Amino acid sequence: MDITLKPKQAQQIERYLQSGRYASAEEAIAAALELLSECDRHYQAWLESTRAAVATGMAEAERGETIPSEVVFARLRQKVEAQRAEQA
C-alpha cells in the first residue's frame, strides 16, 4: 500500500527518526496506528459505559426515581465551589 503524507506529517516523522526514537518511518507509523487503535478501544469502552449509565438513568426516571432540579443544581454549585477552593 502506498500512502502520501502531507508535508507536516512527513516532517514530524523525520523529527522522530532524527531523534532516534524510531528506526524507520514504517516503525513510527506502526506506533501511530497502535495508538489510534488504543484510542478507539478507550472510546468504545467509554461509549458502552455512557450508554449503560443513560439506560440506567432513563429506567430510574420511568420509575419516578428522580431528583428535583434544585437539588441537582445545589450539588453542582457545591462541587464547583469545592474545586475553586482547592485551586486557591
Range of the domain at 38: 7-87
Number of folded domains that form the chain? 1
Cut 0.75: pTM above it: no
Give the pLDDT confidence score for residue 1 in this predicted structure.
Answer: 85
The answer to the question of residue 45 being in a domain is yes
The answer to the question of residue 1 being in a domain is no
The C-alpha angle 81, 84, 85, rounded to 5 degrees, equals 85
What are the DSSP E strand ranges found in 1-88?
none
Question: How many other CB atoms are found less than 10 A from the CB of residue 12?
Answer: 14
Amino acid at 36: L
| pLDDT tens per residue, range 4-40 | 999 999 999 999 999 999 999 999 999 999 999 999 9
Alpha-carbon span 18 to 29, nearest angstrom: 15
The count of residues in the chain is 88
The answer to the question of residue 72 being in a domain is yes
